[in-house]
Amino acid sequence: MTARTHGTYTRYKLEGCRCYPCAGAASDYRANRERAIAYGTWQPFVDHGCTPEAAAQRLGITVGYVKALHRLAIRREAAA
CA distance 31 to 14: 19
CB of 29 to Zn ion, least distance (A): 14
End-to-end CA, the chain? 38
Asked if residue 8 binds Zn ion (CB under 5 A), the reply is no
- Asked if 26 is part of the footprint of Zn ion (rule: CB under 5 A), the reply reads no
17 binds Zn ion (CB under 5 A): yes
* CA–CA separation, 70 and 72 (whole Å): 5
Instruction: Tell me which of 14, 19, 37, 54 binds Zn ion, using CB under 5 A.
Output: 19
Q: Please report, as ranges, the residues that interact with Zn ion according to CB under 5 A.
A: 6, 17, 19, 22
